[in-house]
Amino acid sequence: MGMTRVVYASDFHGSEAFFRKFLGAALQYEADVLIVGGDVTGKAMIPVVHQGQGRYEAHLFGRKETPGSPDQLAKLQQTISNVGFYPIVLEPDEAADLEADPTHMAQRFESEMVARVRQWVALAEETLRPRGVHLYFMPGNDDIHAIDAAIDGHEHVHNPDGRRSWIDDDHELVGVSYANMTPWKCARDLDEPDLAVKLEQAAALLEAPERAVMALHVPPYDSGLDVCPELDENLQIVARGGQVLMKPVGSPEVRKTIERVQPLLTLHGHIHESPGHTRIGRTLCINAGSEYAEGIMKAAVINLERERVKGHVLISA
């Protein structure tokens, strides 16, 4: 067959602006296939509390917001969604009850995450169906397992985590959403031996690994795609002489898997600060990076031919 164009991005972290720009880029660059590499849900809810007489109050990035009309309220909700948080409009007694009940708080947070994923999947189906384009939408280590059901069961949106799909006549895709252990012990963090099992299971699905694409959320260790600020025991950034210390934090097992399997292409996320590409043997490895909190879309446009990656470019919008 001819060329297949992939548009790849990762680490949306709930940002409505990022996801919509991503779909827009797919249309602009005439993508044949879309791939999302994980960490799709946001990190916090923002209560927007009714103060009476049509006035509300919320705090966003340390700043008090006081919308006083339906239009202002809607604008604030959109702003909160665009930076990756979940606005929840509450009466004062509802806010107090939620604050006092951690179990209820966790349930509400889960429902908000699942609801946004469902909305995104529905929007993707509506946008991509007329064009016959498929989206492979994978969770990442930050994402709770409850969102998986929101991705499954659609015609043009698929979860590649632990599964194999043919994205065209020549190229298979498999995914691994899990990461090596982080200080935050996220939902899909694993110790390296357990991550190795997930990687081996995914690789074993491949029929033609030399032409395969592997979406591996965490980058390979010491690849240049996994460099981030060093943290101390209190999870504070370490600096010396006025300079932030950086260190590789990717997975040794991911690196071993790439060295052994030698797929055509691997796609990574997880480390927002390390966009770029490298080669491990014959394998091209790409991390598109992320600036989700600024509402900036970072992605990679990749052209695949049967036996090679013909070219790729990192984009930002």
- For the segment 105-133, the average pLDDT, to the nearest whole number, is 97
The rounded distance, in Å, linking the Cα atoms of 235 and 182 is 11
Is the per-residue pLDDT at 1 higher than 70?
no
Q: What percent of the chain has pLDDT over 90?
A: 98
Q: What percent of the chain has pLDDT over 70?
A: 100
Per-residue pLDDT tens for 257-266? Answer: 999 999 999 9
- For the segment 6-21, the average pLDDT, to the nearest whole number, is 98
Is the per-residue pLDDT at 46 higher than 90?
yes
Q: Does 74 lie in the same domain as 166?
A: no
Per-residue pLDDT tens for 130-186? Answer: 999 999 999 999 999 999 999 999 999 999 999 999 999 999 999 999 999 999 999
Is the per-residue pLDDT at 2 higher than 90?
no
Q: Does 36 lie in the same domain as 145?
A: yes
Last residue of a domain, one of 62, 81, 106: 106
Q: Which CATH number do you get for residue 66?
A: 3.30.420
Per-residue pLDDT tens for 210-229? Answer: 999 999 999 999 999 999 99
pLDDT at position 170: 97
The rounded distance, in Å, linking the Cα atoms of 187 and 40 is 13
Number of domains in the chain: 2
Side chain identity, residue 28: Q
Q: Does 173 lie in the same domain as 151?
A: yes
Q: Does 303 lie in the same domain as 219?
A: yes
Q: Does 234 lie in the same domain as 120?
A: yes
Side chain identity, residue 317: A
Q: Does 101 lie in the same domain as 132?
A: no
Do residues 292 and 302 make contact, with C-beta atoms less than 8 angstroms apart?
Answer: no
Q: Does 151 lie in the same domain as 87?
A: no
The rounded distance, in Å, linking the Cα atoms of 239 and 11 is 26
Q: Does 206 lie in the same domain as 85?
A: no
The rounded distance, in Å, linking the Cα atoms of 258 and 209 is 10
- Residue showing tokens 């260190």: 247
Domain interval for residue 191: 4-44+111-316
Per-residue pLDDT tens for 29-41? Answer: 999 999 999 999 9
Nearest by Cα to 268 from 295, 293, 298, 239 = 298
Q: Which CATH number do you get for residue 16?
A: 3.60.21.10
pLDDT at position 36: 98
